[in-house]
Structure 1
Amino acid sequence: MDFDLVVKNGILVTASEVLPEGLELGIKDGKIACIGTSLPTSSTTKIIDAEGAYVTPGGIDSHVHLAQKNSPTGDNWETGTRSAIAGGTTTVIAFASQQKADTSLYPVLEDYQEKSVNQTYCDYGFHFILTNPTPEILRDELPVLAEREGITSVKLYMTYELMKLNDREVLRILFACKQLGMTTMIHAESHDMISMIIEGLERNKNTDPYFHAVARPRIAEDEASYRAISLAELADAPMLIVHMSSDVAISHVRDAQTRLLPIHAETCPHYLFLLSEKIKGEPHDHFSGAKHVCSPPLRHDVKDLDALWQSIANGTFTTFSSDHAPSKYDHPGGKRLGMVDGIPRFSKIPNGLPGIETRVALLFGETPACRPAEEARLSLPRFVQLATTNAAKLYGLDGKKGSIAPGYDADLIIWHPGDKGATTITQSNMHHDIDYTPFEGVQVGNWPRYTILRGEVVWDQEKGIVGQKGFGQYLKRGKGQVLVGKTGNVPRGMKPEERQYWL
């Protein structure tokens, strides 16, 4: 076979194993054609010598916000996906967001498609955010959009006044998505708890950015996560709880998984590396803490970080996403919205952090590739599961994305050998269109040397971005898989036949 590209001298890592040294990848027509030794080459074959470095599947960031109306100073599809490939991510799934007044999803999709077409450096797909789940949408539109457009996941909110759904609406969506084989994602925080605390903080003039973390305590996430799991259990439906930050909340997930419920969990880099001290800002500028305002907020104690790392290692977390939802800091339409008449108002600060570019390297830096084995927080196969493979399976991309195997898209990260890729994260090195990174000064043990998308090098750390805007392709996704537990469970205390009386 006349390969287009051969990757030699790499150590291939999949979600299940680190393959023996000496294997080569043969790539043809954008796909992995074979894994072997001494693969034949011709005068037209490009050769990449990995020089003994690890080779992992291209990252899949399944939770990013790009070109959203509620974030006018955030990244668009061009800048966000440019940043993605610079950090080793070859696929992103972003959100087409329904507004409360929208009575159909078709215009929502058309508008979002117009923003993304011919604008992306990497492959991409959409989730829907549902804020007005009418019976017509659930009955008539979701089945068509899943089949025709391959949009097989939705996100729901239990908080934010303009987006929150009540429990009955959540249940209706869970039942509808279960029938369609769609993945339901949920932002679990108790809206009423948070609203009451915010009112008290503002009444007492405690409005600096730091009080954002006080306004959204762990118990608000703990209660809502337990309630979300209970709703999913009643509906016998799979669910993914997104951006989890609390040890108690994740213990609810562990308990559900132990009972074989199909409850998946996601966390993000900022909950593993940053504490709420960051929201206090600089001594000379407390408002600079606005750069670290996100929801759920950064937690207070290093014990919180350690507990989440334990859940990373023990398999409780299914995916690891950036929740890239940034606003510029020094911009009147960005984080500066939280400065009202010279007075900081944390409740007016746009939520969200940039992280699409730093996600993969931060996690890879905690593996034995970058740390002594006794200090590593997760194995290399576990890194691959979290950074790419599980997201591909959960969101209907298995067989195409997320693995190093014949027939899969040739989406790869080739790392630097040894410690040659050690990097200090700085804003000056970022490729997003945001004026800061929350991980400024954080050191990582490696950085992608090459990012390869469908057999083409799109990032070369020596040369920078070498891919082209518009090379990214829209991904029509299939049904997601249940990766933990199973459906067919009976809620505790119910008889097996009870559902049939009211369904």
Structure 2
Amino acid sequence: MKPFDTVIRGGTIATAADTFRCDIGIRDGVIATLGHDLGPAEQVIDASGKLVLPGGIDSHVHLAQPTGDETVMADDFETGTRSAAFGGNTTVLPFVMQQKGQSLRQAVADYHALAEGNCYVDVSFHLILTDPTPNVLGQELPALVEDGYTSFKVFMTYEGLALSDREMLEVMDVARATGALVMVHAENYDAIRFLTDRLERAGKTAPYYHGPSRPIVVEREATHRAISLAEIVDVPVMIVHVSNRESMEEIRRAQSKGLKVYGETCPQYLVLTENDLDGLNMEGAKYVCSPPPRDEASQIACWEGLQSGTFSVFSSDHSPFRYNDPQGKLRAKGRTSFRWVPNGIPGIATRLPILFSEGVVKGRIDLNRFVALTSTNHAKIYGLYPRKGTIAVGADADIAIWDPEREVTISHALLKDGSDYTPYEGMRVTGWPVLTTVRGRTIVVEGSLVGGKGHGAYVQRQRTSTGRLARKGYEQ
């Protein structure tokens, strides 16, 4: 047997279930053994005094996604996956966006072409369905699920994206037949349009009014309706980026009935509020995302959802636009309303440090739940486990080494993405990833990029995990 390629020595390993001390032997990109005194290796990484965690899996990111207007997303696969690695992530799941009238199969092929050779971390793709034609539902979508595209997202809002209830039922029916998972952006489109028109007539057009145009009731009603539709079809559903107690309680109520409903929340709903959108001039546009940040009571509720298991995953919803750019957030400058501000904020590199600092360090969650919420549950729900999401013999050597005591002031310069700002600028966090390894290759160490572009690869997923977890009433 040849020597190990790498041995990580002296660290404290944490998984979703256990915390223990041992060394990790890596061979050919895979964890070959866990133990002590592992013998020689071509490379030895000293992790003394550090935490050795499964690399983060961010299952909700938007990269190189067409917008349908003159705006341009700030991150492509190169910059987005690079920033992910700086934040301790080793796998990300962006979305293939189907355009109206476009073959879904062609959209997938085009997206693969954008990713090929440009990734620093591994990727797998969700699908976004905007045009569920009979051909898409009857032929393309089942074939793509068979090929490993085992989750797809539907929107209940946005011009050109929102599906009718009937269309959602048709999509859910295909998911049930094929064993796929439906992800839902739950906001009531007609209510948002009504409120936006009313606010504009009253002259309330600053970025701050993005929040009042999408109040909690708009999200709560859509969440209830999405769950009801899923119950009719009897299909698993993931309600994404939940921002408040009322929507969380809709999910909790469904789970208590034994329905296969999962929930996700994001950093912006833990540390930002609606007041952040009230900046001078257009500064508030930096915080415009949907659903919008709420109030402190909603922050408390989202923490409860993470603590109780109502939320299975914690994702970034990284949807980056540059601020000082006419193709980004300032597209709205000189226009009439907040409605022109692109929806979305960057966050792929800050997701893990924010949850570690605000959650683990402050005692809201323990280290094992941190690993579950940021890595293991994503892998299990989306068909990547046990290859991804844990530290175990046979798993990919996707590892993030953390200094749990390092104090860092977040600044955009640290994040290495394609945007020109971070909504978390100046936030102090304790705990920071100091080394990120993807399939045994070090990509980032101590704030320096050392891995080559192109090491990240596409990972095909299984379609069995979600159904199995749902039947067992999974909760990590």
TM-score, reference length from structure 1: 0.91
Contact 1:264 1:484 in 2 (8 A): no
Structure 2 residue corresponding to 1:466, chosen from 450, 456, 472: 450
Shift of 1:146: 2.1
Match of 1:280 in 2: 278
Distance in structure 2 (CA, Å) of the matches to 1:254 and 1:201: 33
Structure 2 residue corresponding to 1:452, chosen from 437, 453, 462: 437
Distance in structure 2 (CA, Å) of the matches to 1:367 and 1:292: 22
Distance in structure 2 (CA, Å) of the matches to 1:428 and 1:180: 44
Per-residue Cα deviation, 1:382-406 (whole angstroms, up to 9, x for no partner): 1011101111111111121000000
2:202 is aligned with 1:218: no
Distance in structure 2 (CA, Å) of the matches to 1:347 and 1:72: 16
Shift of 1:483: 7.1
Match of 2:59 in 1: 62
User: Partner of 1:94: helix, strand, or coil?
Assistant: strand
2:225 is aligned with 1:233: no
Contact 2:156 2:187 in 1 (8 A): yes
User: Structure 1 residues 390, 252: CA separation in 2 closer, same or farther (over 3 Å shift)?
Assistant: same
Which residues of structure 2 form unaligned runs of 5+? none
Match of 2:87 in 1: 87
Aligned residues: percent identity?
Answer: 44
Per-residue Cα deviation, 1:298-347 (whole angstroms, up to 9, x for no partner): 10x21110111011111110111111101100001111111135x5x200
Q: What letter corresponds to residue 411 of structure 1 in structure 2?
A: D
Match of 2:356 in 1: 364
Per-residue Cα deviation, 1:212-235 (whole angstroms, up to 9, x for no partner): 001000000000000100011111
Contact 1:96 1:109 in 2 (8 A): yes
Q: How many residues align?
A: 468
Distance in structure 2 (CA, Å) of the matches to 1:98 and 1:432: 25
2:468 is aligned with 1:486: no
Distance in structure 2 (CA, Å) of the matches to 1:428 and 1:485: 41
Q: What letter corresponds to residue 289 of structure 1 in structure 2?
A: G
Give the 4+ runs in structure 1 shifted more than 2 A: 482-488
Distance in structure 2 (CA, Å) of the matches to 1:72 and 1:30: 35
Structure 1 residue corresponding to 2:407, chosen from 416, 422, 431: 422
Match of 2:397 in 1: 410
User: Partner of 2:57: helix, strand, or coil?
Assistant: strand
Structure 2 residue corresponding to 1:324, chosen from 289, 296, 318: 318
Q: What letter corresponds to residue 95 of structure 2 in structure 1?
A: F
Shift of 1:363: 1.0
Q: What letter corresponds to residue 347 of structure 2 in structure 1?
A: G
Structure 2 residue corresponding to 1:297, chosen from 289, 292, 300: 292
User: Structure 1 residues 487, 51: CA separation in 2 closer, same or farther (over 3 Å shift)?
Assistant: closer
Distance in structure 2 (CA, Å) of the matches to 1:94 and 1:73: 13
RMSD between aligned residues: 1.4
Match of 1:78 in 2: 78
Shift of 1:444: 1.1
Contact 1:188 1:228 in 2 (8 A): yes
Match of 2:422 in 1: 437
Shift of 1:268: 0.6
Q: What letter corresponds to residue 453 of structure 1 in structure 2?
A: V
Contact 1:260 1:484 in 2 (8 A): no
Contact 1:261 1:486 in 2 (8 A): no
Distance in structure 2 (CA, Å) of the matches to 1:243 and 1:296: 7
Shift of 1:482: 4.0
Match of 1:130 in 2: 129
Q: What letter corresponds to residue 283 of structure 2 in structure 1?
A: S
User: Structure 1 residues 392, 109: CA separation in 2 closer, same or farther (over 3 Å shift)?
Assistant: same
Match of 1:493 in 2: none
Q: Which one is further off, 434-443 or 422-431? A: 422-431
Shift of 1:484: 5.9
Match of 1:168 in 2: 166
Shift of 1:290: 0.2
Per-residue Cα deviation, 1:246-296 (whole angstroms, up to 9, x for no partner): 110000101111111110001110111100111011xxx331100000000
Match of 2:13 in 1: 12
Shift of 1:178: 1.4
Match of 2:24 in 1: 25
User: Structure 1 residues 487, 90: CA separation in 2 closer, same or farther (over 3 Å shift)?
Assistant: closer
Shift of 1:414: 0.5
Per-residue Cα deviation, 1:395-428 (whole angstroms, up to 9, x for no partner): 1111210000000000001011x52x21110112
Shift of 1:485: 4.6
User: Partner of 2:207: helix, strand, or coil?
Assistant: coil
Contact 2:65 2:73 in 1 (8 A): no
Which residues of structure 1 form unaligned runs of 5+? 489-503
Distance in structure 1 (CA, Å) of the matches to 2:104 and 2:29: 33
Contact 1:394 1:483 in 2 (8 A): no
Structure 1 residue corresponding to 2:262, chosen from 246, 260, 264: 264
Q: What letter corresponds to residue 121 of structure 1 in structure 2?
A: Y
Contact 1:5 1:27 in 2 (8 A): yes
Structure 2 residue corresponding to 1:350, chosen from 339, 342, 348: 342
Contact 2:124 2:460 in 1 (8 A): yes
Per-residue Cα deviation, 1:463-496 (whole angstroms, up to 9, x for no partner): x1111111111111111424765399xxxxxxxx
User: Structure 1 residues 483, 291: CA separation in 2 closer, same or farther (over 3 Å shift)?
Assistant: farther
Match of 1:492 in 2: none
Q: What letter corresponds to residue 459 of structure 1 in structure 2?
A: V
Distance in structure 2 (CA, Å) of the matches to 1:132 and 1:91: 28
Contact 1:133 1:173 in 2 (8 A): yes
Match of 2:120 in 1: 121
TM-score, reference length from structure 2: 0.96
Distance in structure 2 (CA, Å) of the matches to 1:11 and 1:294: 37
